[in-house]
Amino acid sequence: MTLYERKQEKRKPEDSFRGNLYVTVDTEIDADIHWVKGHPESFSSVIYGIPQILRPLWNSNRINPIYFVSPEVLKNSRCCNVLKEEIRQGAIIGAHLHAEYIDPDGKSPCEVERQAFPCTEYSTEIEREKIQNLRELIIEKLGIEPVWYRAARFGADEDTMVSLVDLGFLYDSSYTPCISWKSKGGPDHSAVPNGRHIVSVPDKKKPIIEYPVTIMGKRWGLFGKFLPDNWLFYQWLRPTHMTYIEQRRLLDLAKNKEIKDVVMMFHSVEIMINKSPYVRNRIMLQYYLWRLDRTLKYADRIGYSGRIK
């Protein structure tokens, strides 16, 4: 066997298992290390980060990402041009409802003091109207009808699902297994199962297909049981706070449980220096991108394909 053949052999999945890796990016305005949105508004993670940093990663790892796009991004023409090019290259666009930024009573990001859970901050009727307005904005600015949805702060519940069906959405990725947001004023997702599943919607013929973010219990083994009930201490398929080894183990666990669909998530601003709390300097950025790249490669090696259509 030649050296080339040996390299190709290493890239093949270890067995016949075939699953899907959904790489999802919450695509938003730039912030600072405290999540404060600046004025004037800036969108470096979209205008520069997507084509210059993420697109090479997608190409080298054969990934079709899902960009969950927040309303303020769609109001910037340069961002829309980037996203149109991403669509051309196979990316999927979903709606990401930061409800404060869109009518009714929409505000600019610099005017908003705190981020809310859409399903608990607003009435069902207002939440639905905001989702509808975001959907129409995507159609107007990007020329496609979105069928994927993710709420800001994962703030979606059963009433949200009813609105999504009525508005023509097919898929949701707002749920976070194992985690309840009730202490912060949000929904309780602690009983949600991992992997793709059907969410039945009362009095509706069509259900929503749920693709929850892949989360499996506390980190750090037995010690994890004593940790506070905070999202940081849970095992997410998320390079934000998880090491490569932890994400690799999580993928192995999902495969062993025969979970065919796994969902990775992070924010677009996390790939820029000082645009989120998670990357403060060039070394941290290089480490972030390294563990993202290694996790994508490992997922492919064990049979999780990122070529989502």
What single-letter amino acid sits at 74? L
Length in residues, the chain: 309
Tell me the pLDDT of the chain averaged across its residues: 93
Please give the Cα distance from 129 to 144 (Å, whole number).
Answer: 19
pLDDT tens digits, 201-235: 888 778 999 999 999 999 998 888 889 999 999 99
Q: What is the pLDDT of residue 8?
A: 44
> If phi over 0 gives left and psi between -120 and 50 gives alpha, with beta otherwise, what is residue 168?
left
> If phi over 0 gives left and psi between -120 and 50 gives alpha, with beta otherwise, what is residue 154?
left
**CA-wise closest residue to 194 among 6, 43, 19:** 19
Please give the Cα distance from 246 to 232 (Å, whole number).
Answer: 13
**CA-wise closest residue to 173 among 210, 138, 207:** 210
pLDDT tens digits, 46-100: 999 999 999 999 999 999 999 999 999 999 999 999 999 999 999 999 999 999 9
Would you call the peptide bond into 177 cis, given omega within 30 degrees of 0 as the criterion? no
**CA-wise closest residue to 82 among 34, 48, 57:** 48
Q: Is the dihedral of CA 202, 207, 208, 210 positive or negative?
A: positive
Q: What is the pLDDT of residue 39?
A: 84
Q: What is the pLDDT of residue 14?
A: 52
Report yes or no: 142 and 95 within 8 Å, Cβ to Cβ.
no
**Could you say which DSSP state residue 100 is in?**
G
Please give the Cα distance from 251 to 17 (Å, whole number).
Answer: 12
Q: Is the dihedral of CA 70, 74, 79, 81 positive or negative?
A: positive
Q: What is the pLDDT of residue 92?
A: 98
In 77-140, at which residue ranges do the beta strands (DSSP E only) sit?
A: 92-97
Give the residue extent of every domain in the chain: 17-305
Sole residue written with tokens 């290259």: 89
How many C-alpha atoms does 285 have within 13 Å on its Cβ side? 16
Summarize the chain as % helix, strand, coil (round to 5): 45, 15, 40
Q: What is the pLDDT of residue 6?
A: 44
Q: Which helix (H) or strand (E) holds 120?
A: helix 118-121
Q: What is the pLDDT of residue 3?
A: 42
Q: Which helix (H) or strand (E) holds 71?
A: helix 71-74
**CA-wise closest residue to 211 among 125, 92, 129:** 92
Report yes or no: 171 and 150 within 8 Å, Cβ to Cβ.
no
Which residues, given as ranges, of the chain have pLDDT below 50?
1-9, 13
Report yes or no: 118 and 97 within 8 Å, Cβ to Cβ.
yes
Q: What is the pLDDT of residue 205?
A: 77
Q: Looking at domain 17-305, which of 3.40.630.30, 3.40.50.10210, 3.20.20.370, 3.30.70.360 is its CATH number? A: 3.20.20.370
Report the share of the chain in percent with pLDDT over 70: 95
